[in-house]
Amino acid sequence: MQKENPDLSEKAILRRRLLDARAALSPDDLARTAGQLAGHGAVLPELAGAATVAAYVSVGREPGTRALLDALRVRGTRVLLPVLLPDNDLDWAVYEGAGALAKAGRGLLEPTGPRLGPDAVCTADAVLLPGLAVDARGMRLGRGGGSYDRVLARLARAGKDPALVVLLYADEVVARVPEEPHDHPVHAVVTPEGATRFGRT
């Protein structure tokens, strides 16, 4: 049995395990779970009642968001998608459908419409956050890039309190996520098996 590297942090070890599990998913797994996530996400009160949702386009083996984005857009929800800036901060633009997405750096897909500025996220009633895990307290483990830490800090500075939602695979709801002082709990997690709401604090 391979020993864990003692130099890796608790978060890094958990991230590696979760990414390895995602790497084993088949295209059929990805397609099936994306439909299930859209079905559960579309009826989640935090998303169903939102006039504006800040979200993201899933890539690779991330839990699929595209069917959910389209379901929200068809319903009339204004969906904002991120545009990665050179300093790792996020600008935002309105999602106008799959045909208005363009390939960008790091394998990302970004909206081609007018940029609204980093503060546009403050208009969102709900924010769909990427993640790798969440625990029973709602603590989220992100990818570690820091872009969404900036988003959450910007919302806090503006006095905004949108619903924070994360899409995950069922086995990514774990007993405990290591946390740091800047980490924020989410209000709900959606998996292919359903949704769990943690309540507003």
Task: Tell me the three-class secondary structure of 110-134, residue by residue.
Answer: EECCCCCCHHHHHHCCEEEECCCEE
Q: Checking phi first, is residue 112 left (phi over 0); if not, alpha (psi -120 to 50) or beta?
A: alpha
117 a known binding residue?
no
DSSP 123-174: G-SEEEE--SEEETT-BEE--S-SHHHHHHHHHHHTT---EEEEE--GGGEE
Annotated binding residue at 44? no
Alpha-carbon radius of gyration of the chain: 16
Q: Is 58 annotated as a binding residue?
A: no
Virtual CA dihedral for 34, 15, 81, 51, nearest 10 degrees?
Answer: 70
32 annotated as ligand-binding: no
- Beta pairing, strands 140-141 & 133-135: antiparallel
pLDDT in tens, the chain (201 residues): 444 444 468 888 999 999 999 999 999 999 999 999 999 999 999 999 999 999 999 999 999 999 999 999 999 999 999 999 999 999 999 999 999 999 998 889 999 999 999 999 999 999 999 999 999 999 999 887 889 999 999 999 999 999 999 999 999 999 999 988 777 899 999 999 999 999 654
Domain 10-197's class?
alpha beta
Q: Is 74 annotated as a binding residue?
A: no
Asked if residue 129 lies in contact with residue 176, where contact means CB atoms within 8 angstroms, the answer is: no
What's the confidence (pLDDT) of residue 105?
84
- pTM for the full predicted model: 0.91
Facing residues of 140 across strands? Answer: 134
Residue 16, annotated as binding a ligand: no
Query: Is 146 part of any known ligand binding site?
Result: yes
Instruction: Tell me: is residue 159 an annotated ligand-binding position.
Output: no
Q: Is 9 annotated as a binding residue?
A: no
73 is in an annotated binding site: no
For 113-126, letters b (16+ CB in 10 Å) and e give eeebebebbbbbbb
Domain residue ranges in the chain: 10-197
Confirm whether residue 15 is marked as ligand binding.
yes
Q: Any binding-site annotation on 148?
A: yes
What's residue 1's pLDDT?
41
